[in-house]
Amino acid sequence: MAHTTSRNGAGRPTAPGSARARRDVRRAWLFLLMVLPAFVLAVLVGDGLLSLQGYDAGDSAVPLHVTLVAGGSALLVLMAPGMASPRLSTVCARGGTVTRPARHPA
């Protein structure tokens, strides 16, 4: 085999120019580009959950459990594309689609 095997279900090698390899690269870039919209969505989710529980975003007397529910949910929304992007880029690198720069000893 000329290329390393990627996880594509059947254990077949993924050629750099194949449709599966191009799809993997597109997905990796898409998830990387989704970080900014995820930030906006996380702010909206956090403020929405805070308002849903009867508090304003500027209140100083918000209980801890309310803050944890709103902030934790917003954090999960924010982290989702940031955690998927490195995973997908690793899949691309293992499949031979993306070449990594050579590491030179110092």
Site of tokens 């909206």: 44
Q: What is the DSSP letter of 18?
A: S
Residue 96 neighbours by CB under 8 Å, 6+ apart: 3, 4, 6, 13, 14, 15, 16, 21
| Longest CA–CA separation in the chain, Å | 63
Tens digit of pLDDT for each residue in 13-71? Answer: 555 567 777 787 888 888 888 889 999 999 999 999 999 988 887 778 888 899 899 99
Whether the per-residue pLDDT at 90 is higher than 70: the answer is yes
Helices and strands (H, E) in the chain, number of each type: 3, 0
